[in-house]
């Protein structure tokens, strides 16, 4: 079964013909085919109905039309006269439409020296085959031939209604698509690295930002600027990192309602949250309520807020450290108590939270303030905090995203996690996703962490059954290699161990590591 990635949830997406074609493509093509349905592509962000990519066969753009034969009044290679619902209009030939999209794909990819022919008569041309075609979901091959539509669209570039039925042989269906690839140039197949480069160029939103040093806000600024610049001006980086296919599928397909992502350390959860916040902000109307992103870790909130501001989304996306958000709510609704400056920070933070909870219960702080609420580091939120955050979602949108990994809870080890998500108002049964691949750490670090964590990472019983609990997940390595960690196990006291760690860090710093 091929991998299908769509711009939204499949239910209700596209035309009936597009939905049938999506199902046929996914079920009848082998698993090494990648399919994008209604996803913007390239520097001009055009939206062909389908983009297909295969390491050996190449790239294919398909336009799908649900026209009946009597809808088409006349057809040439350039233009069609159609009369849907009896109203005559002139449109571009669907084959030309597909070709224009395919050429935009080719022009974008040919800017990358690693994706073009290096020698021979086709030097400088795209190294992978490419093609384009049309799917007529309501016109049979017999009708197509009888109407003379072959004069307007080459027959081998068209899939007709009877050639995409559920009963059609998979090999015959695939052969129809293979026939649409006239440009081959002796292609030997895309390597995994080249496949990532194709995705990086065609789909800017799946690019992985370069990791910045915690000690320098300017580190990797040039790489980040290149990722955010226009494809016409930016110099293509040597290393192009993109979301993996599961991450991309998840990021694009998150629909309405409450959603939960359970993930191990380092699987790209925060990256997916950022994609979701940006997508919601860009698809909202100007009159929509803002989007709220809540974090427990203050530096992470600062980083996410800076990312949203750099994209011009700070007015639409409000990123807040949870306790600062609570204080903001108390200030905004004139509920901040007197004398707060004389109290210990921990006690003050608790009072802020309880003050907001009381304000909501008394009706002095309104619920439903936000178009959507996205919660990062949900493992560090107390149950009553999650209840409070859930109440802030506008019932009209009911849009909530919670990111969670109980194994990463570092702030309150005594806090009980034996509660269900349903008990705090999160209705996500059947809409949870688990990410288990750790991209952050090398295999050597992850193996050591496994040995140290031991039985703490065993999955506990779900208090209410199903997928509504909060699992402890064991991460899988992405296979990235590195040096063995240094284990300091011969010093008896904590101060001695801390001093040794400081020595090791100072030594690395002296060698030029940040």
**Where do the domains of the chain lie?**
3-202, 254-483, 486-514
By three-state DSSP, how is residue 409 classified? coil
- C-alpha distances (whole Å) from 8 to each of 14, 24, 40, 250 are 10, 18, 12, 10
Is residue 457 pLDDT above 80, yes or no? no
- The mean pLDDT of the chain is 84
Q: What is the pLDDT of residue 40?
A: 86
Tell me the three-class secondary structure of 204-232, residue by residue.
HHHECCCCCCCCCCCCCHHHHHHHHCCCC
Share of the chain above pLDDT 90, in %: 46
For 35, residues 6+ apart whose C-beta sits below 8 A from its C-beta are 2, 3, 4, 5, 22, 25, 26, 29, 50, 51, 52, 53
DSSP symbol at 235: P
pLDDT in tens, 190-207: 888 889 999 989 988 888
Q: What is d(CA 360, CA 349) in angstroms, rounded to the nearest whole number? A: 17
Residue 414 CB neighbours (<10 A): 4
Helices 322-332 and 345-361 pack at an angle, to 10 degrees, of 50
Range with the largest mean pLDDT of 204-208, 261-265, 491-495: 491-495
DSSP symbol at 395: T
User: Which of 222, 246, 130, 226 is CA-nearest to residue 178?
Assistant: 130
Q: What is the pLDDT of residue 409?
A: 61
Banded model confidence at residue 121, pLDDT cuts 50, 70, 90: confident
Instruction: Give the DSSP letter string of 135-185.
Output: EETT--HHHHHHTTGGGTS-GGGEE-GGGSSTTS-HHHHHHHHHTT--B-T
Indicate the range of 149-153, 263-267, 505-509 predicted with least confidence: 263-267
- CATH class of domain segment(s) 254-483: alpha beta
Q: Between 265 and 258, where is the model more confident?
A: 258
Banded model confidence at residue 123, pLDDT cuts 50, 70, 90: confident
Banded model confidence at residue 213, pLDDT cuts 50, 70, 90: very low
Is residue 215 pLDDT above 50, yes or no? no
Q: What is the pLDDT of residue 206?
A: 84
pLDDT in tens, 40-65: 887 778 889 999 999 988 999 999 99
Q: What is the pLDDT of residue 84?
A: 87
Is residue 79 pLDDT above 50, yes or no? yes
Contact indicator for 234, 222 with CB cutoff of 8 Å? no
Backbone angles phi, psi at 400, to 5 degrees: -135, 135
Is residue 464 pLDDT above 70, yes or no? no
Q: What is the pLDDT of residue 402?
A: 92
Is residue 282 pLDDT above 70, yes or no? yes
pLDDT in tens, 405-451: 766 665 554 554 567 788 888 887 777 888 888 888 888 998 888 88
Contact indicator for 439, 504 with CB cutoff of 8 Å? no
């Amino acid at each position: 079964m091929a991998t299908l990635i769509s711009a939204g949830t499949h239910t209700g997406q596209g035309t009936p013909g597009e939905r049938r074609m999506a199902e046929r493509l996914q079920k009848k093509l082998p698993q090494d085919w990648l399919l994008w349905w209604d996803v913007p592509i390239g520097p001009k962000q055009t939206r062909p109905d389908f983009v297909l990519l295969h390491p050996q066969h190449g790239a294919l753009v398909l336009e799908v039309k649900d026209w009946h034969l009597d809808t088409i009044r006349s057809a040439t290679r350039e233009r069609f006269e159609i009369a849907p619902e009896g109203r005559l209009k002139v449109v571009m030939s669907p084959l030309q439409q597909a070709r224009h999209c395919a050429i935009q794909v080719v022009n974008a990819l040919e800017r990358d020296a690693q994706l073009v022919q290096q020698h021979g008569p086709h030097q400088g041309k795209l190294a992978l085959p490419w093609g384009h075609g049309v799917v007529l979901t309501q016109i049979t091959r017999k009708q197509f031939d009888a109407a003379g539509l072959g004069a307007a669209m080459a027959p081998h570039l068209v899939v007709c209604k009877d050639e995409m039925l559920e009963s059609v042989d998979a090999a015959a269906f695939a052969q129809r698509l293979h026939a649409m690839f006239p440009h081959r140039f002796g292609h030997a197949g895309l390597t995994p690295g080249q496949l990532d480069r194709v995705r990086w160029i065609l789909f800017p939103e799946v690019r992985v930002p370069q990791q910045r040093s915690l000690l320098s806000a300017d580190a990797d600024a040039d790489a980040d600027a290149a990722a955010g610049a226009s494809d016409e001006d930016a110099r293509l980086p040597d290393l192009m990192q993109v979301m993996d296919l599961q991450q991309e599928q998840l990021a694009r397909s998150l629909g309405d309602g409450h959603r939960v992502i359970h993930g191990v350390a380092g699987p790209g959860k925060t990256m997916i949250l950022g994609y979701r916040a940006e997508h919601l902000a860009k698809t909202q109307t100007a009159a929509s309520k803002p989007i709220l992103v809540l974090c427990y870790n203050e530096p992470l909130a600062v980083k996410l807020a800076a990312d949203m501001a750099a994209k011009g989304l700070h007015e639409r996306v409000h990123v807040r450290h949870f306790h600062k958000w609570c204080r903001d709510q108390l200030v905004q609704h004139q509920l901040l108590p007197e004398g707060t400056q004389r109290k210990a920070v921990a006690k003050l933070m608790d009072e802020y939270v309880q003050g907001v909870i009381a304000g909501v219960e008394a009706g002095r702080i309104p619920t439903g303030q936000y178009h959507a609420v996205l919660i990062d580091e949900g493992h560090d939120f107390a149950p009553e905090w999650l209840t409070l955050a859930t109440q802030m979602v506008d019932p009209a949108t009911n849009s909530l995203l919670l990111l969670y990994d109980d194994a990463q809870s570092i702030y309150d080890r005594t806090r009980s996690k034996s509660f269900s998500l349903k008990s705090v108002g999160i209705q996500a049964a059947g809409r949870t996703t688990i990410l288990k691949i750790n991209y952050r750490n090398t295999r050597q670090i992850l193996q050591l962490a496994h040995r140290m964590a031991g039985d703490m990472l065993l999955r506990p019983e779900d208090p209410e059954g199903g997928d509504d609990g909060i699992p402890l997940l064991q991460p899988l390595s992405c296979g990235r290699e590195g040096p063995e960690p240094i284990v300091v196990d011969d010093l008896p006291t904590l101060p001695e161990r801390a001093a040794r760690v400081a020595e090791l860090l100072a030594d690395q710093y002296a060698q030029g590591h940040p």
